[in-house]
Amino acid sequence: MEFLADVLVRIVTQFQSPTLGFLIGGMAVAALGSKLQIPNAIYQFIVFMLLMKIGIDGGIEIREANLSAMFLPALMAVITGLFIVLIGNFLFSLIPTIKKADGIATAGLFGAVSASTLAVALVILEEQSITFEAWVPALYPFMDIPALILAIVLANIHKTKEQEEDKVHILGILRDSLRGSALSSLILGLVLGLLTNSGTVLESFYEPLFRGFLSILMLVMGMEAYSRIKELKKVAHWFMVYALIMPIVHGLFAFALGYIAHTLTGFSPGGVILLAVIACSNSDISGPPTLRAGIPEANPSAYIGSSTSVGTPVAIAFCIPLYVALAQIVFEL
């Protein structure tokens, strides 16, 4: 009981973070019926800026890092992404009222990664002076791409069995995933950080704007989360249950793998937290368009509605504080 009380106190403390405040503020504004809107072009630009900053920062650190130390956490990220899709597909297959395509697409979206949730976690760790390897955000595609590809492959295998169509074109799926705006931005930042002397532009341009842009992104996500709640009325309640519980499970699974990497290679506590965060997150940028194209028969109200209205708020408002509190106890931070 003392352990649980300690965790709860630490979680409540996390809610004092201004980053979480903007998310909750966005939900409150939408609930009050405000006409406030952020143009989509501005939203896309903000996402691009955040991903470029994260990518450049990670690329610079990878260039200077011990690649052998990065190998195991990257492998853990791949394993986690594949695990989330496989366990989600299995759970939804146990419910006969849910279409196979809807279950697979939902598992794929939750296996993919939210750049905005990752950005929130980075700021919270910085606010609390919890250190981590700067290349940890670069684990994003190691979890994101395998999860999306596996989901689309599973859906196409199922579709092929039903319709007796031609074999699945895995290379085409991989190519389309890499061309997505989110992964393209992140990979571009990584390459620039690796191959160019981009430290000055990072410090003079991206760093000063990062927190301000993130606050706007949180407002947008809060308003979007509230508006998506209505969509879930069209969907079986099982999607809500999944979106409420499984992000916590996914993060704890990744936290355990991260702890193993910490024991074997000295992976930092902050890195363990971020690995858990990208596991509990669900893609809000790269995933939806990739799954719309790869699994067109799936109902977007199911996987996007459950993800945006339930999964993302759970990941940001509950999971991040939970994993920070858990790390503070486990690693005695």
- Tell me, what's the pLDDT at 260? 95
77/80 Cα distance (integer angstroms): 5
The length of the chain in residues reads 333
Treating both helix axes as pointing N-terminal to C-terminal, what angle do 18-31 and 115-127 enclose, rounded to 10 degrees? 130
- Tell me, what's the pLDDT at 165? 56
- Tell me, what's the pLDDT at 183? 65
| pLDDT by position in tens, the chain (length 333) | 665 666 566 556 655 666 667 777 888 888 888 888 888 888 888 878 887 887 787 778 777 777 788 899 999 999 999 999 999 999 999 988 888 888 999 999 999 888 778 888 988 898 888 999 888 888 888 888 788 888 888 887 777 666 655 555 667 656 765 676 766 777 788 889 888 888 888 888 988 888 788 788 778 877 876 776 665 565 567 888 899 999 999 999 999 999 999 999 999 999 999 999 999 998 876 677 677 767 878 877 677 777 777 888 889 888 998 999 899 889 987
- Tell me, what's the pLDDT at 245? 94
Phi, psi for 64 (deg, rounded to 5): -100, 0
Q: How far is CA 179 from CA 55, 172, 183, 184, 186, in A?
A: 16, 11, 7, 6, 11
Domains and CATH numbers, the chain: 39-330 (1.20.1530.20)
- Tell me, what's the pLDDT at 80? 97
Residue pointed to by tokens 């196979």: 100
